[in-house]
Amino acid sequence: MGLLGPNGAGKTTLVKILTTLLEPDSGRVFVNGRSVTEEPEKVRSAIGMAGQYSTVDGVLTGFENLYLLAKLRGVGRRRARRVADDLLSRFRLTAVAGRQAGAYSGGMRRRLDLAAALVGAPPLVVLDEPTTGLDPESRLDTWDAVGELVAGGTTILLTTQYLEEADRLADRITVIDRGLVVAEGTSDELKAAAGNRLVMHVAEEHQLDAAARAAARATGATPAVDRRARRVEAAAADGRAALGRALGALEGEGIEVLEIGLSRATLDDVFLGLTGRAARREAA
């Protein structure tokens, strides 16, 4: 389950409530059938969590980090060693198991974080913006690790500012804004609800205004104009019919078009339409 929303929407607050770090002001919250206010210890035993920033101990080795957490979970010494070894193998960290975690790369530390969240085999793992601050290669490593967890039967609640991340990883997505759920569904369902977009590229910059007028007449929507790219884009609810009207309007204006077509809405379009804020700007 992907949880999306702009800064201040309530994502981290919800995560803190679900993980018993914050008491709700009202309402009832259950995790794995347990009330977070009445049975917080049972809730904590059913979840694992990896936050926005690495929480592994940089002085301890990778093995020692996982062994310590297993012991804190009440696992016996022999089994704790086996749990640590198994998780290190699962996340491709066996070769660096004896190295201090502080010397790990960003991607390796994040994989160790995910491994730590799995100590005790919790049925639910909460990942609060797990790839914040990672380089592209480390982000891909993290995505692969999350995909392996889901394939292995672990349920994951993922909050993220990166829409591509939610698009790739989440089976279902919930969008919240100002503390309220504003949309929910699969990525394909959300994109379908946002409709198609008419996109055209013109040959000359001075033709952009005329192209924008043609797009507005064809779609009935206010177009977005990118002058640097010489591109005009507008929501097109009726798709192919709007494309046909646009072609006629462009011909009537005598505009030379390099490219024109229909584009399916992206998750960025969905997010912007639902919250009225640019996701990338918020992430920056």
Mean pLDDT of 216-238: 88
Mean predicted confidence (pLDDT) in 175-182: 89
Which regions of the chain carry the CATH code 3.40.50.300? Answer: 2-190
Is the pLDDT confidence value at 280 over 50? no
Per-residue confidence (pLDDT) for residue 91, from 0 to 100 = 85
Question: How far, CA to CA in Å, does 194 sit from each of 82, 184, 188, 276?
Answer: 49, 13, 10, 13
Q: Which fold has domain 2-190?
A: Rossmann fold (3.40.50)
What pLDDT is attached to residue 125? Answer: 92
* Residue 115, helix vs strand vs coil: helix
**What pLDDT, on the 0 to 100 scale, is given for residue 104?**
93
Mean pLDDT of 57-85: 94
Confidence of residue 277 (pLDDT cuts 50, 70, 90): low
Query: Residue 276 has what pLDDT?
Result: 67
Residue 173 clears pLDDT 90, i.e. is over it: yes
CATH 3.30.70.100 placement within the chain: 196-264
pLDDT mean over 28-54: 90
Q: Say if residue 37's pLDDT is above 90.
A: yes
Q: Which has the minimum average pLDDT: 11-25, 130-144, 197-211?
A: 130-144
Cα separation values, 283 from 67, 233, 260, Å: 35, 24, 31
**E-strand spans in 72-145?**
124-128
**What are φ and ψ of residue 141, in 5° steps?**
-60, -45
- Domain 196-264 fold is Alpha-Beta Plaits (3.30.70)
Q: What are phi and psi of 213, to 5 degrees?
A: -65, -40
